Amino acid sequence: MDNMQDLYPSRTKRKIDMFERLDPVVYGDTTGKYKGPLSSEELQSFDDNGFLFFDQFFSEDDIAEFRQELKRLCEDDSLRGWDGVIREPNGDEVRSVFEVHKISNCFNRLSRHPRILDRVRQLLGSEVYIHQSRINYKPGFKGKGFNWHSDFETWHAEDGMPRMRAVSCSIILTDNNEFNGPLMLVPGSHKFFVPCVGPTPEDHYKNSLKIQQTGVPDNDSLAQLIDLAGGIEAPKGPAGSMLLFDCNTLHGSNANMSPYPRSNVFFVYNSMENRTTTPYAANRRRPEFLAARDHIPLTPIEE
Ligand code: AKG
């Protein structure tokens, strides 16, 4: 695949209507090399909705060390000034820390946990590498929201991800409830690609990681997809719960209006058959902390 064949044009001058996705959603099954723990029903549900939620996937005990690490990274002076630490718009609170699978042993190990990898490899039907990882902290009262978007749209336009063959895994590190800005998803939206209007600004990531305004779907398309697919869902649960969602599922979240932080870690697994090339709609590649260049297949840790 080269960039001459852009199957998912976006960041265009004029609006292009949304169209049906050209790629499968689930690549593996319950037999064969990448068979995994997900049942046929779970695979079908992921195919239909674009996500799967696992309540209390890890226990409180399992995640105790990750909560400590979450705090440590947020307070780590040696990370101050690094571009991979994003502050809230108009504030000094940490919004996100990127590349946590590289800067933290603890999160590196979590990203290679066999219980996650088995499921992700089954969904993608191949070996996988990490395209991006991050913690979104969403601190109490101060954490702002994330506008609706498809991650694939950005990864395609700005990172050169050719096809829809990536899955995000979000692990809840502090309880997510209706008050602290849980992630919301549009079930079924992953089946359509919504081209976005407007060219990619230079160094777009410097603003988009605080508030994304380019590469977001127009309201008409959004409303249509929300109507079509049956609304919006916000899977909530205690720390240790896990969400797997397709790279093209529309999602976003509100600000945290409660005193309690809503902190989740995200690992983005891309298929080894779908390695990134050059951006489809940006002048330059984004920095490595946002889009990995070492496409190394992951090996599971021993439990
Ligand atoms: C992102 O980081 O791109 C997200 O969409 C996450 C939204 C959230 O953490 O609420």
Residue nearest to atom 2 of ligand 1 (CA): 136
CA distance 222 to 247: 16
Please report the atom of ligand 1 found closest to the CA of residue 253.
10
CA distance 249 to 245: 7
CA distance 287 to 98: 11
CATH of the domain spanning 38-73+92-274, picked from 1.10.760.10, 3.90.650.10, 3.40.50.300, 2.60.120.620: 2.60.120.620
Distance 247 CA to ligand 1 centre (A): 12
Whether residue 193 contacts residue 163, with contact meaning beta carbons closer than 8 Å, is answered with no
User: For a pocket test of ligand 1, which of 131, 136, 148 has the largest count of ligand atoms closer than 8 A to its C-beta?
Assistant: 136
- Taking the mean position of all CA atoms in its chain, how far away is CA 20? 21
Distance 148 CA to ligand 1 centre (A): 9
Please report the atom of ligand 1 found closest to the CA of residue 182.
10
DSSP notation for 188-248: TGGGEE---BSPPPTTTHHHHTTS--SS---HHHHHHHHHHHT--B---B-TT-EEEEETT
Residue 90's pLDDT is: 87
CA distance 106 to 134: 13
Query: What ipTM does the predicted assembly reach?
Result: 0.97
Nearest to 191 by CA among 228, 216, 158, 219: 228
Please report the atom of ligand 1 found closest to the CA of residue 183.
10
Per-10-residue mean pLDDT for the chain, 303 residues long?
A: 78 96 97 95 98 96 94 94 95 96 97 98 98 98 97 98 98 98 98 97 92 94 91 97 98 98 98 97 96 96 87
User: With the CA atoms of 34, 35, 37 and 39 taken in that order, what torsion angle do they form, in degrees rounded to the nearest 10?
Assistant: 130
Distance 64 CA to ligand 1 centre (A): 22
Please name the residues in contact with 164: beta carbons below 8 A apart, sequence gap of 6 or more. 8, 21, 22, 23, 25, 152, 190, 246, 247, 248
pTM above 0.90, yes or no: yes
Distance 230 CA to ligand 1 centre (A): 21
Q: Which residues line ligand 1 (CB under 6 A)?
A: 136, 146, 151, 183, 251, 253, 264
Residue 5's pLDDT is: 84
Q: How do beta strands 51-54 and 19-20 pair? A: unpaired
Residue 4's pLDDT is: 61
Residue 1's pLDDT is: 45
Please report the atom of ligand 1 found closest to the CA of residue 266.
2
